[in-house]
Structure 1
Amino acid sequence: MEKSGHAPAPVPISADEAAFHVPPPSAVVTGANRWLADHPELSVWKCECVQTPLSTARDGSLYYDLNSMVRHDSTYGYSVYLKGLRMWLTTAQPGSTPQQLGLRTAVPEVKTIELPNRYRKGRIIEMKCRRRILTIGTDMVKAFDQFKLDLDPDAACWDEDKDRYSRVTQVLRIFYLQGPPGNEEIAMGQWVTQQKGSRIVNIQQFDAIVEKTFDNELKVETDSTDDAVWAFKDRRLAKTLRVFQVTSGGQAVAQQPNHINSRLFLPARMGPKVFESMTQTMDRVDFWLRVTGANVYNVETVKLLLHETQPAGADVAASEYRIQKMTGKYWLTAIRVYIAGPYNEPDPSQLPPVPLYKSGSGSCTIV
């Protein structure tokens, strides 16, 4: 597996200039296709949407940092976010034509309900795509600002007022390769070993809402596409996995593995709220893969709630977490690699040394 594509460092601009430099929805994919045309030696293995907050420098210019593995979400105030495309790359076959990507977005149907405090739900119907599907995944977008409809599923830039009540919804992103029709249908499956005659195109962590029913029982809302976000409301979420599949379209499908493992790679912790960069973490992932020879099946970027009391910075074993009201939070970015079949964890001596953790009074090494 190769590293994910890294964009060049952004040029700082003022807030006024930024208002006139927001790219249209198609610009992200167009930029990716230009990059792919210039790098025919690489092919896209998977795509995923990533978002990053805009920050203000001392001179008033705006900037973003795609290499940082720590992100802060304030409790209140005004925030602006950008959405981009992360491509996971592999070596292309010699003499192959450079790939060109396409994107379709499916928005859940809106259902009118009488009670205003119940969630708006939607169902994404199976659809046909006329090209070979590369990746399918869900993506969260802002739907309502207070009670004003503000849904733009293809927006590359949006703002949020954390003091106000808002709602977010899930959309389905379908990335495909331009070319001859594939005549494939997509659906969401449950178990990899049960998907006979289908091709698995993505395994994605999804954090579902946990709520109490009228009978005071806990329910994980895995089928809900809607969520309420408010600084004055606690939220409880459970980590789940979604398996996306496509039918063969009359073509032969490689046999699915009988067993899938996963390995979570956290950035090395170097101090309080200080972690190594995405580039450094990916270097360690690549080294680990070369040592183990593991057969990579899927890969994704995940976010974990930062806990300073945890040695690694996050509670990786927890199946759920809470977001407390009226409290700022930090998110830690990690890389999860799904592996086909078993693998043996190498001895730490075979891997690069972990950076030192530097505290105020001394330093220690966290393994």
Structure 2
Amino acid sequence: MSDKDIPIDVNPVLPEDVNSGKCGPAPPSYEEVMGQYETSVQMNQPELPSLAYIDIMPRMTKPGNLQINVMPEFQPFQEIVRGANAWLAQNPGLAVWKCETVERKVLKGQGHTRVRVDLDSMAYRESAWNCNCYVFGIRMWLTQRASDQKTTQEIGLVNISPPEKEVEYTSYHRAGFIGLRHYMTACRVHTLKTYEGLRKSIEEFNAKVKANPIPGSVLNVETATLKFAEGFSTKSAQEVAEMSSWHEMSGMIGRRRTQVLRMFYVKGAPTTPQLEMAEFLPTRIGQAGLGRPIRFADFSDAENQAAEWLRAQRGIRLLNIETREAKYNTFFDMGGQVNIDTDSTDDFDLPMFESHKLRFLRVFFTSAGAPVATSYENTSLTTRVFPPVRCKGEIGYETMMQTMARIDAWLKLTGLPIFGVETTQVLDEGPSSFKKSQYKLRGFVGKIWVTAIKIYFAPPPYISVPEYLVAAGSGGKSSTCNIL
């Protein structure tokens, strides 16, 4: 992370300053800043749903035309933050308690519409042979503001990109023959630009933030896995972090990905947070060998590890719990070692080969120096995943709004307070997709990805959390979907 990545605008622009000309031209209006958005917050509703959100996407600067493989272009990611603040200014009774990056596939439009983005969809198809185009936005989870808060909440963003490094590798080629059976080889040394690991990114951020504080208090931190390009690329991780879309001309072309940390904060008095990270991988079960693949426990095993770790923590401030994934090798593993590199910030995916992925939990927190620190000794962390219902007689799934309505009914019935929330996405492999910790990406085939909402609870140990959703609506069914 470079020094310029940390913004320094602490004080908001006041109307009287604009009128007097002290701050230059007036800030852009709400309509000028906002891109496409969708929210579960309804105007004039008596109270918020138990779990409320808004998705804000960037404005499209060039529409493109997917019919002829002309990709659309969108505003930089930081512009989405401006749109989020414009929306918050128009809704002063609401506050954000978590931000996260959401990804939506850009679809071919109909008629005069060249492209479209469906914000309500809970599933999409990744084509193996045709072009794929995606756009990133911000999902803000919302709550009612306290009555004693007088100023409108304003958020900011710091992208923590991995530091660059150069590595050398050697290639050999045949130089000539000596006699009839022997030959000589000559070598060439090449240099490849790559990136330090994720923990190194955190280490450098912690060192720099001491001299250049964050202009506010940290809201949450998340990992964004972003694509560099198809194959090798000259773009830097810093440039990629500012992009709000990516594409591939064919799903069969190799991808190069990196990990960038996004730190969302609420603007206010400067702070110097010291970021820390913990990871919990599902336990490996059994011994792999000839004809026997490597196997891991279900994802709940990682969740149980995280719950046990959290109960032992004192004097920390928990920032976020998120589901991530990492590649692992599939060798016979005769020596008992498995290579799972969760720290890598420079990965290559080759679709023509099978790729094995392991899902794990990553936790971000700040150390005892944080302004707000607590003990989690009596925390009994548990989770529930709320997947979309598959529509009856159709291949598709219910919408995001329908899923959120069922979640709201379940939360109101149980009365459980929410400890955390995240949006998760898995490869559609049937009802067990969200329970499995490992899956395989096969080449030369299209893929269906399904989105779900995962909620974290921290009730006292004597309170159990029901596993299944309650029936929503009369009779437990809708006209198109079965309700669990």
Alpha-carbon distance between aligned partners in 2 of 1:317 and 1:233, rounded to the nearest angstrom: 25
Higher alpha-carbon deviation: 228-237 or 295-304? 228-237
The alignment partner of 2:352 has SS state of: coil
Matching residue within 321, 328, 335 for 2:446: 328
Higher alpha-carbon deviation: 287-296 or 172-181? 287-296
Equivalent pair of 1:189/1:195 in contact (CA under 8 Å): no
Q: Which has the higher contact order (CA 8 A, sep 6+)?
A: 1
Alpha-carbon distance between aligned partners in 2 of 1:159 and 1:68, rounded to the nearest angstrom: 19
Equivalent pair of 1:211/1:221 in contact (CA under 8 Å): no
Matching residue within 405, 409, 423 for 1:283: 405
Structure 2 match to 1:269: 390
Between Structure 1 and Structure 2, whose CA radius of gyration is higher? 2
Q: CA shift at 1:76, angstroms?
A: 2.2
Structure 1 match to 2:465: 344
Equivalent pair of 2:61/2:74 in contact (CA under 8 Å): no
Alpha-carbon distance between aligned partners in 2 of 1:324 and 1:214, rounded to the nearest angstrom: 19
Structure 2 match to 1:361: none
Q: Does residue 2 of structure 1 match 2:48?
A: no
Q: Does residue 251 of structure 1 match 2:371?
A: yes
Structure 2 match to 1:66: 119
Q: CA shift at 1:254, angstroms?
A: 3.1
**Which amino acid counterpart does residue 266 of structure 2 have in structure 1?**
L
Structure 1 match to 2:219: 134
Q: CA shift at 1:92, angstroms?
A: 0.9
Q: CA shift at 1:77, angstroms?
A: 2.8
Q: CA shift at 1:175, angstroms?
A: 0.4
Alpha-carbon distance between aligned partners in 2 of 1:114 and 1:70, rounded to the nearest angstrom: 42
Equivalent pair of 2:259/2:345 in contact (CA under 8 Å): yes
Structure 2 match to 1:222: 342
The alignment partner of 1:287 has SS state of: helix
Alpha-carbon distance between aligned partners in 2 of 1:140 and 1:348, rounded to the nearest angstrom: 31
Alpha-carbon distance between aligned partners in 1 of 2:65 and 2:127, rounded to the nearest angstrom: 23
Structure 1 match to 2:242: 154
Structure 2 match to 1:303: 425
Q: CA shift at 1:22, angstroms?
A: 2.1
Alpha-carbon distance between aligned partners in 2 of 1:212 and 1:19, rounded to the nearest angstrom: 36
Alpha-carbon distance between aligned partners in 2 of 1:231 and 1:250, rounded to the nearest angstrom: 43
Q: CA shift at 1:249, angstroms?
A: 3.4
Matching residue within 29, 34, 47 for 2:81: 29
Higher alpha-carbon deviation: 142-151 or 336-345? 142-151
The structure-2 alpha-carbon separation of the partners of 1:267 and 1:349, relative to structure 1 and needing over 3 Å to count, comes to closer
Deviation string for 1:308-331 (max 9, x for gaps)? xx3x4x522211111111111000
Equivalent pair of 2:57/2:80 in contact (CA under 8 Å): no
**Which amino acid counterpart does residue 139 of structure 2 have in structure 1?**
R
Alpha-carbon distance between aligned partners in 2 of 1:10 and 1:290, rounded to the nearest angstrom: 36
Q: Does residue 44 of structure 1 match 2:96?
A: yes
Higher alpha-carbon deviation: 166-175 or 50-59? 50-59
Identify the structure with the greater strand proportion.
1
Structure 1 match to 2:201: 124
Equivalent pair of 1:11/1:63 in contact (CA under 8 Å): no
Matching residue within 157, 166, 173 for 1:103: 157
Q: CA shift at 1:99, angstroms?
A: 0.9
Q: CA shift at 1:298, angstroms?
A: 0.7
Alpha-carbon distance between aligned partners in 2 of 1:330 and 1:125, rounded to the nearest angstrom: 33
Q: Which runs of 5+ in 1 are unaligned?
A: 359-363
The structure-2 alpha-carbon separation of the partners of 1:266 and 1:221, relative to structure 1 and needing over 3 Å to count, comes to same
Equivalent pair of 1:102/1:178 in contact (CA under 8 Å): yes
Q: Which runs of 5+ in 2 are unaligned?
A: 1-49, 172-191, 280-308
Aligned length: 358
- TM-score for the superposition, normalised by structure 1: 0.87
Q: CA shift at 1:148, angstroms?
A: 2.4
Deviation string for 1:77-115 (max 9, x for gaps)? 322221100000111101422211110111112333345
**Which amino acid counterpart does residue 189 of structure 1 have in structure 2?**
A
Alpha-carbon distance between aligned partners in 1 of 2:87 and 2:368, rounded to the nearest angstrom: 29
The structure-2 alpha-carbon separation of the partners of 1:139 and 1:6, relative to structure 1 and needing over 3 Å to count, comes to closer
Equivalent pair of 1:357/1:366 in contact (CA under 8 Å): no
Equivalent pair of 1:299/1:336 in contact (CA under 8 Å): yes
Q: CA shift at 1:215, angstroms?
A: 5.6
Alpha-carbon distance between aligned partners in 2 of 1:110 and 1:269, rounded to the nearest angstrom: 44
**Which amino acid counterpart does residue 43 of structure 1 have in structure 2?**
A
The alignment partner of 2:85 has SS state of: helix
